[in-house]
Amino acid sequence: MSEVAIRALAPTDLDAYRLLRLRGLAEHPEAFTSSVGDEAATPADALARRLAPDAARPHDVVLGAFDGGTLVGICGIDVDMREKVRHKGRVFGMYVPAECAGKGIGGALIDRAVGHAHAAGLAQLTLTVTADNAPARRVYERTGFAVCGREPQAIRVGGRGHDKLFMVLFLPAARAPRG
């Protein structure tokens, strides 16, 4: 990978984020649980909130990979804040457009997401991946995620069912501050 910078997206990145996300959902409907229709129905301010830093949710982030000024990859983490499940983050919305794929951008995004989750004190990351999505599975397994379950016919796209794999990565305990 060359010259790609990764940073947390901010509300000012909303238009680029929305465009790239819609493209991913349109070009790879079998890879995502959300559809283009779901996304189009999501109000812009809900998406902008996703990109806004929130001191009460330091683990939540949408990372963007930039080649110059162009957004060429996205990957998010969010946490269900209910007491019994707030130790784990969910990885969502990983996408690198085809013309940029195969250069390590997806790997760099998930590595950064893992670092962010660890720094934020999360104990584990989970995600789902469509069972026959070999490139995505490769990226996650390379980073240390392991398959921990399979849901048959988890999504339907154009009337055809696709299984989803559940994957998990356990993070080392964050070191307690000295003193």
Residues that bind ligand COA (CB under 6 A): 24, 28, 31, 94-96, 101-107, 129, 133-136, 138-139, 142
Longest dimension (CA), the chain: 59
User: Which residue's CB atom is positioned nearest to ligand COA?
Assistant: 106
Query: How far from the centroid of its chain's Cα atoms is residue 141's Cα?
Result: 15
What type of residue sits at position 176? A
Question: Is the CB of 12 or the CB of 153 nearer to ligand COA?
Answer: 153
Question: Is the CB of 123 or the CB of 131 nearer to ligand COA?
Answer: 131
Cβ-based burial of 16 (10 A; exposed 0-12, middle 13-18, buried ≥19): middle
CB of 97 to ligand COA, least distance (A): 7
Question: Is the CB of 12 or the CB of 33 nearer to ligand COA?
Answer: 33
CB of 138 to ligand COA, least distance (A): 4
CB of 73 to ligand COA, least distance (A): 6
Question: Is the CB of 102 or the CB of 121 nearer to ligand COA?
Answer: 102
Question: How wide is the angle at C-alpha 17 spanned by C-alphas 49 and 69, nearest 5°?
Answer: 125
3-state secondary structure of 77: strand
What residue spans of the chain are helical by DSSP H? Answer: 14-27, 36-40, 44-51, 105-119, 134-143
Q: Which residue has the tokens 């019994």?
A: 84
CB of 80 to ligand COA, least distance (A): 18
Question: Is the CB of 52 or the CB of 66 nearer to ligand COA?
Answer: 66
CB of 74 to ligand COA, least distance (A): 9
